[in-house]
Amino acid sequence: MKYKIHYVPLFRGLVRKTEHLYMHRNFKEVITTTGYVWYIEGARKNIMVDSGGDPKLLAKLGYPVKKVQSIEDGLGKLGLAPHDIDIVIQTHLHFGHVDLAHKYTNARFLVQKDELAFAQKPHPAVDDWYNLKSIENQEIELIEGDKELLPDLKILKTTGHSPGGQSVLVTTARGKEAIEGLCCIKENFEPRIISPAYHTNLLEAYDSLARLKEIADHIIPGHETL
């Protein structure tokens, strides 16, 4: 079975490249990053990867991003609405990735058990990364490790950026495509692997990226502006 991945950009903003690349020393270099969700076409159920960030909330938290489109408009271009989504594969529970979860009123959210446990009582060093308010009334299915959701559609546990992060490996016309869940740009993978600047475990993050690079034909960096 082959699927098609639809990119749905929601917000965009300028950040220092050091926000993405660990030990990147050009502190003045600024890039444009984008916040996406992805719709996976081809399954009997409507499947999303991530529920999406709220630009207004991000701005309040000090990230001056601009809205690209609402989730309603983005899904509307695909003939869908948030209430049509059956499954949301939530890569992790950081703000900017889960803020709009409350809009998916009929969805089941797939979250790693370790991610939810950590998010419910995060370490003080990173407690401001998490936003559980939007997901507190949603149906959550906890996953432990890798999971084959459907033929040719697999969830991979990819820790390091967060304790229970996950990515999605999908077979498309281009081959095996990985939607990574570690908040990367293209340079995190090419030409060499560089861990994300924000992480709870630097070495695990590196190993997760290395695993994705080994098994995927193409990697979709979560914040690369296209």
Per-run averaged pLDDT (10 residues), the chain, 226 residues: 94 95 92 98 98 93 92 98 98 97 98 98 95 94 98 98 98 98 97 96 98 98 96
User: How many domains are there within the chain?
Assistant: 1
Quote the domain boundaries for residue 50: 4-220
pLDDT at 126: 95
pLDDT at 2: 86
In a domain, residue 225? The reply is no
Three-class secondary structure of residue 122 per DSSP: coil
pLDDT at 62: 86
In a domain, residue 38? The reply is yes
206: Cβ contacts below 8 Å, ≥ 6 apart: 160, 193, 195
The encoded tokens of residue 61 equal 């938290």
pLDDT at 59: 87
For 1, 18, 30, 53, 92, the CA distances from 12, given in Å and listed in that order, are: 33, 17, 13, 11, 19
In a domain, residue 226? The reply is no
| Cα end-to-end span (Å), the chain | 27
pLDDT at 79: 98
pLDDT at 1: 73
pLDDT at 103: 97
pLDDT at 185: 98
Q: What is the CATH classification number for the domain harbouring 60?
A: 3.60.15.10
Q: Are 175 and 220 within 8 A, CB to CB?
A: no
Q: Are 207 and 158 within 8 A, CB to CB?
A: no
